[in-house]
Structures are given as structure tokens and as C-alpha cells.
Amino acid sequence: MTSKPLTLIVFIMCFVLPVMAEQPVYLDLNKPIEDRVEDALSRMTLEEKVAMIHAQSKFSSPGVPRLGIPENWATDGPHGIRQEVAWDEWYGAGWTNDSCMAFPALTCLAATWNPEMSALYGKSIGEEARYRNKNILLGPGVNIYRTPLNGRNFEYMGEDPFLASKMVVPYIREVQKNGVAACVKHFALNNQEKYRDHVNVVVDDRALNEIYLPAFKAAVQEGGAWAIMGAYNKYKGEHCCHNKYLLNDILKRDWGFDGVVISDWGGTHDTNEAIYNGLDMEFGTWTDGLKEGLSDAYSQYYLATPYLDKLKSGEVGMSELDDKVRRILRLVFRTNMSKDRHFGSFVSDEHALACRQIAEEGIVLLKNDNHILPIDGGKVKKLLVVGENGVHSMTIGGGSSSLKVKYEVSPLQGIINRAKQSGIEVMFEMGYASPAVAAQDMKGAVAPEKKFDLDELRDKAVKAAAGADMVLFIGGLNKNAGQDCEGNDREGLGLPYGQDKLISELAAANPNVAVVILSGNAVGMPWIDDVSAIIEAWYNGSEAGNALASVLFGDVSPSGKLPFTFPKRLDDVPAHKLGEYPGDGSDVVYKESIFVGYRWVDKEGIEPLFPFGHGLSYTTFEYGKLVADKDEMSVSDEITFKISVKNVGDRVGKEVVQLYISDKKSSLPRPVKELKGFQKITLMPGEEKQVTFTVGKNELSFYDDNKEAWIAEPGVFEALVGSSSAEIKGRVVFSVK
């Protein structure tokens, strides 16, 4: 019988010493990542490589257990960490510890016009993803706002590529400091939900480069994004999840992207295209007639057994596979095998404060006649709140951004809590009602729908309005299908569920009506002249009610600015005016080219409902004279502009100072003006600050599609500084040699 000491020696010699001697480089956290990648790659079998490039469940892909390489786990964002779902299903897994913090929608973040808020957002949601041990956050989204009917606009950052570029970079950087990859989406040209899975976008190269790509480029080259998600739609006849021009030529070759291209769920359509056209990880595909979510579907993915068979037969080579695996290994070593990865935090007091700060800074005061806001407890004793959105949950519905939250403060609750401090009695009437939507609970069950008499609801609200000192109508959209919701576009610009009629009747019954719109899109306002105040309050997550109350009662002066234009009618939007939305089901042609949003408004001389960059305050800002440090510069030089801004009101406030550049004469048509700088400043009453902008070649350039290059031409330019695209406070003409 072998003695125990001898058995131990044999075990050490046979098993422990060989492992110690091998010392894999990929496990040495002090080695350069590229060395670790090559070491791990050299140890993997063909089957292990192929397994790594496609999903094994709804939101995960395999690691290599034999080598100690962990799985990759993705989570829907970009507004909160999605609840755990069943392995092969979309519905919730029934956990009790996965209720998250809901952060404001990205339209609200863009409306802050404050990169510091973007950094706070990224830090906070990155910590939540890390705590839940996710290493891929499926967000942020930076697709351009082309039509107010796009059901997914609330997930994006507005109509201007410069604003979106500046706001996305801090978000990405801070998320990734947590060892979580930001997966920027949807690359590219995903500007409508109707026909999204097959429509081919026809757009000229100039618009592609000037309007639709800059935010993605900034995400990669400035933000250092570790992942990109392809779009559902087609471009140049190829699906964007395996699109040679977008992924291989632009993203990986021209921009130097070294991260992972991830398919949108169900966005992969062909094995050969997926092999050769830039896709690295395939998720959510349904193949061979299998129903969504069957566990054996994963082996039938385009980059699974069909790819493995081609490799074994010699039909395809190894270089494309190895490139995909290198990128995934690089992602793993940057995230869940990084020595710098901390533990994160979840639904913390700090995250609640972040939610509230971002929401407060993003809320936009659109109109405030007779200074009806903030609510004055000395004048208002009975406050009537009307509207289903005052109590409707805005964290469920909307598609993949639907959340299971720890808590959600409704607008009504926030208002009641704050009104008590001012001795104001708050009454509530529904006024209107909408159908129930599915929550992310077990099997997507929908709460039993209550039956409402809409005429009765409206009549009760109007009758109550006559006896109130002030009426707060809280309405808008609500993430139902056909409102702000993935997979559907809106049917029109007007408010649903009879709200327009209700608002008009409330205004007829009471002269003091303030309207609060919750939405991620512009809405029509046929009643705009009948109400005293209008606020755009977005979808603001867990702290929505508290943030709204802070602004309504003047604890915080509103400082948000619109990240997109509010048109008076759909015919004022070029995608609709030119008859090219939503396309014919096969193609959609972007006939407006670069003239999107305020660029079109300026070109056509249209008066919008509210202009891009618009937002009022409870205080007043006075602009000084705009001056330049020179009146002439060379193309390779820079010019500096300065302007002073003073708070001449009696409240502390924040102002967004916006710089636009106008090219007075160029070889190709250019917009009347384009946003090329902005700064958000805080001013105490009576305080004055100087704002400085520096402009160089990048800010003066346009994309010449004939030369396939960015061009800065000599000529005469004008710098315009204002509080919105329509409210210009100062101008300076300068020339470029």
C-alpha cells in the first residue's frame, strides 16, 4: 500500500509541478494584453474558438473553462441593468436581488448639455453592471434623430452629431473604468423602427460622414469603446451586422477599432457574410425554423456548426476566426480578467443622487408666461394634478430598455412630498388612460387592464380644474407600442389617448395651466397658446418625481436645452416633407442629405415649435460682446472667441452657451450654421463669467464626397454664439487663408 506522503509526492510531480512550470502568460495580469491574447489563442482548440464567437444563452457566450477563461455576460442598457432572465427566454428568471436603479433616458442626458453629467452617468451605471458581474453593457445609443416618429429616439442623444459626440465619450470612459465594456449602438443608420430588420438605407457619403458617423467615430477614437453593436437595417444592400464597408473598411481599418463587433439580437443572416464582413460575436439568432429561445438553437447559429463545418472541410481559412477570437479575448482581459476591476455597487444612495442630478439638469423649461413657474406657495393653495403619466410607471415597456426597478418615484408622489413643505393641497384626476403594457416579469404577463370611460375621466378633470388655483397636466407618451417603443414607430405627432382635447378644455376652465410632457420625442402642441407653461421632463427613471418637483417648486432652476428640434407639423421635417419616410419597405432614401433637424429649419426658413438648443431658466442671463483674438487665420491655425455671460436675475442658474459656425461661401452646399462648441456654466445672482471657444481645422471642415476627404477651404466664416440655434446673442466674421 502506498503511503500518504508518497501519494502526495506523486500527485505534486504529476499534476502540480507541470502546471506551475507552464505558467500561462494569459493568466499573468502583469503581462501586456496582446501577449496574453496570443498565448491564450495558441492554447485553444478549433471547437473552443468557434464556441466563443456565438451565444450559449440569451445574454451570454462561452468562455474556455479548460483554460480558466470566463464567459461573457451582456446586459441591456443603456438606462439601467436589465433583470436576470431565464437562460433561453426573454422573461424574468424570478430573482429577488436584481431590481436595479433606473437612470434617465439618454435624451435627458443629452438635454443636460453637460459632459460632467455624462461622466457621472457612465460611472454610476458602470458600477451597477459590474456589481451584477456583467462585462458588456449594451449601450449607449447614438443614432441620429431623423424623424420624431422613431420609436427608439428616447434611447439616443438627439439630432446633432457634435452634441452626441461630446456627450458619448465621457459615458464610455467611465463605464469602462469599471471593467465593463460599453457596446455603442446601433452601427449604423438605424433611424426608424418601421421595417428596421430589412430596410436598405440609401444615403450619400457626405451625409454618412457628416451626420450619421461622427458620434460612433468619437466613441471609438476618443472614448476607446471596447464593443460596437451592429444595426438591424441594411446599407449598400448588406445587413449592418455583417457589412463589409461599415465594419471592415470604416470601423476596423480607418478608425483602428480593436474591440468586438456584436450582432443585435437576430441581426445575423448569413454565415459567409458573418465570417468575412466584420462580425465577431453572434447573439439572438433564430435558425432552421426553431422557435425563439430553444436551447438547441445555439448550435445552429450562423457562426456555430455551419462555420465549424466550413473550417473542418477547408472551405474557409483560420485567419478570420483567429481575428474574431483575438478581439473577444482582448475584451475578456480588459473586463472580467482585469486586475483593476473592482466590485461595483448597486442601487446605492450615490446612484440615486446621480439619477436625480442628471434628471434635474436635463429637464427643459419650454415656456413660462407670466412666470407661473416655479409654483409659489403664497399664491397656490389648491394644486390639481391631471394626467395618467403622473402615476404611470415609465421604467417598464419600451422594448429592450424595460427595467425591473428597486423603486420609482412617480411625478405625483414627488409633487405631493414637495407641496407639503409649502402648505399646498394636492388633488389628482386621471383625465385620460392608456392600455396596460407587459412588464419584465414571468413570461411577460400584462396586468389586468382596467376599463375607463374616457369622457367621464375628462369631464371630472375639467370640473376639478375650475376649483383649483393652478393645474399641472402631466402627460405625453408612455412607452406603449406605437409611442416610444422599440419595434414600433409612432403613428403621428399628436398626443395619444385624447390628451390634446383634454388640455384645451383644462385651459378653458382655468387660466393657470402648466403642461409637463414625459417623452423621448417631440410632440405636437395645438394648445400651446392656451397654456401658461410647458416643461419637457423626459423619462427620468427612479428619481423622476423628485427631480420634477425640484424644478416645479424652484429648488432647482431648470437648465436643460433641447437636443432636437420640436417641429410644428410633420411636414416641417425633411424626412416627411420629401416623402421618404418610412420608405417603400425595401429602401428608404435620405433625400435631405446633411440637412437634418435645425440644418433643415435654417435652410428652409421654417419657424419651429421650439428650436434646437432651446431651454428657459428661472433667472435671466445677459450676454456681452463676442470678440475674436484675430480676424484672419490660416487653415492650419486656430482662432479663439470669447464672450461674457452675466446672471442678472435673483436666482442661481446654469446656462448653456452655444457656438455655431457659418461658412459664407463654399464649393459644396453647407448648412446655414452648425454647432461646433458649447459650455455649461453656473452663475450666482450678479455673477459674470467669460466663456472661451477655440476653433480650428476640424470645426471648419466638411466632407467632400467627390474627393472622399474632409476639406477646410479658405474663405469667409462667421462665428455665432447664442442660447439656442435660434437665439443668437453675438456674431463675429473672420476669414481663413
The residues carrying an active-site annotation are 264
Residue 347 vs residues 126, 174, 262: alpha-carbon distances, Å: 12, 17, 28
Q: Give alpha helix (H) positions in 592-675.
A: 598-604
Closest CA to 537 of 724, 382, 389: 389
DSSP 446: B
Q: Answer whether the bond into residue 170 is a cis peptide, omega within 30°.
A: no
Closest CA to 183 of 1, 59, 15, 356: 59
Orientation angle between helical segments 33-43 and 319-334, nearest 10 degrees: 130
Element holding 229 (H helix, E strand): strand 227-230
Amino acid, res. 488: N
DSSP 637: S
Tell me if 386 sits within 8 A of 503, measured CB to CB: no
Tell me if 405 sits within 8 A of 542, measured CB to CB: yes
Say how far apart CA 469 and CA 484 lie, in whole Å. 33
Say how far apart CA 575 and CA 595 lie, in whole Å. 10
Tell me if 672 sits within 8 A of 662, measured CB to CB: yes
Contacts within 8 Å (CB) and 24+ apart, 202-205: 202/587, 202/588, 202/589, 202/590, 203/235, 203/589, 203/590, 203/593, 204/590, 204/593, 204/705, 205/703, 205/705, 205/708
Show the CA angle centred on residue 255, arms to residues 77 and 705, nearest 5°: 110
Say how far apart CA 677 and CA 184 lie, in whole Å. 23
Burial label for 314, CB within 10 Å (0-12, 13-18, 19+), is exposed
Residue 383 vs residues 216, 370, 425, 557, 662: alpha-carbon distances, Å: 46, 18, 6, 20, 47
Tell me if 543 sits within 8 A of 360, measured CB to CB: no
